[in-house]
Amino acid sequence: MSARAHNFFAGPAVLPVSVLEETSQAVANFANTGVSLMEISHRSKEFEAVMNEAQVDALALMKLYPDEYSVLFLGGGASMQFAMIPMNFLVTKADYVNTGEWATKAGKEARLFGQVNEVASSEADKFNHIPKNIKFSGDADYVHITTNNTIYGTEWKSTPDVGTVPLVADMSSDMLSREMDFSKYSLIYAGAQKNLGPAGVTMVVIRKAWLEAKAKKDLPSMLKYATHVKNSSMYNTPPVLPVYVLGRTLKWIMKEGGLGAIQKRNEAKAKLIYDAIDACPGFYKGAVAAKEDRSLMNITWNLSTTELEDKFVAEAKAKKMLGLKGHRSVGGIRASVYNACPMESAEALATFMAEFFKANQ
């Protein structure tokens, strides 16, 4: 491939170069079938192998057992899951922790189906931290959290203790970025376009026992998890191309050494940029109040004026560093350093930050 830019977009986001190259081949001639991946039947044995391998690989990376969990590849994005989860599981009440815009939207959708207890929120502090010492109700149908907050740059560094209540998590922006005990969750969902693949597919990992025991039955077929589990995500035509790319990304994670190796690299990349922020106090102002809540995936900071921020973004772009403008709702600067973001990009940004400080302090 020709020289690539340093990609810091928050989503759709950077993908491994080897995956892009494999996909390019598959788009032209998939599995030596003589037709494109975008032309072949999803019922063909060649594509069924793609689907089956992706499901197996996802569970292997998460150290989950196929007799206990199912992996689904669905459309509609994580936003569809905001409604689908309460539609299937909310009977009496659910506990929601509000840590950002997407968590807020998840709670809003859930209220259409039943009682939502917002057991903790960092909204009063502009979502600049993860709430601590949360008191969960203990008898909710489930607890919902958003593990990484793309806009604000906060991340849960440990799984909350919710007792025997099923735990549900939106992991869209930090899925498979680090080692963790995924068995503590009854349902995990992730829009692919931040850390798994391209836009167009959402991965859902669901505990079979919870689904069988608690999911509502009288629902539209397409909105029932049981439908998709029974049909192995093939009830209707799945998003073929995004599923393929996601599957190749899972293979790439394995080749890179698994989640342990990925985590070490993510920590090293994030440290480079956070150190650059901390080295210039008052000039670069980290947006997250407590360092222990800083995201490994989305690093957020401000400068003293919007004019200086605009200058930073423009000069970075001239050096082929793209996607650094903060979310439109909060402004500032944001560097998204997902799994596929190479170390060289983090090094280039840290170097530029030091140079920009010297030139503009």
What's residue 1's pLDDT?
Answer: 54
Q: What is the pTM of this model?
A: 0.97
What's residue 3's pLDDT?
Answer: 86
Where does CATH 3.40.640.10 sit in the chain?
Answer: 17-255
Give the right CATH number for 17-255 from 3.30.1360.20, 3.40.640.10, 3.40.50.720, 3.40.50.12280: 3.40.640.10
Give the right CATH number for 258-360 from 3.90.1150.10, 2.40.30.30, 3.30.300.130, 1.10.10.10: 3.90.1150.10
Nearest-CA neighbor of 8 among 257, 344, 238, 282? Answer: 344
Which residue is catalytic, options 95, 102, 210, 269?
Answer: 102
Query: On the CB side of 200, how many CA atoms lie within 13 Å of its CA?
Result: 12
Active-site annotation holds for 293: no
3-state secondary structure the chain: CCCCCEECCCCCCCCCHHHHHHHHHHHHCHHHCCCCCCCCCCCCHHHHHHHHHHHHHHHHHHCCCCCCEEEEEECCHHHHHHHHHHHHHCCCEEEEEECCHHHHHHHHHHCCCCEEEEEEECHHHCCCCCCCCCCCCCCCCCEEEECEECCCCEECCCCCCCCCCCEEEECCCCCCCCCCCHHHCCEEEEECCCCCCCCCCEEEEEEHHHHHHHCCCCCCHHHCHHHHHHCCCCCCCCCHHHHHHHHHHHHHHHHCCHHHHHHHHHHHHHHHHHHHHHCCECCEEECCCCHHHECCCEEEEECCCHHHHHHHHHHHHHCCEECCECCCCCCCEEEECCCCCCHHHHHHHHHHHHHHHHHHC
Where does CATH 3.90.1150.10 sit in the chain?
Answer: 258-360
What's residue 2's pLDDT?
Answer: 62
Active-site annotation holds for 170: yes
Active-site annotation holds for 285: no
Which residue is catalytic, options 194, 224, 269, 325?
Answer: 194
Which residue is catalytic, options 57, 95, 141, 170?
Answer: 170
* Contact between 165 and 94 (Cβ < 8 Å): no
Here the tokens at position 112 are 């259409």
Q: Mean pLDDT, consecutive 10-residue segments, the chain of 361 residues? A: 88 98 98 96 96 98 98 98 98 98 98 98 97 97 98 97 98 98 98 97 98 98 98 96 98 98 98 98 96 98 97 98 96 98 98 98 91
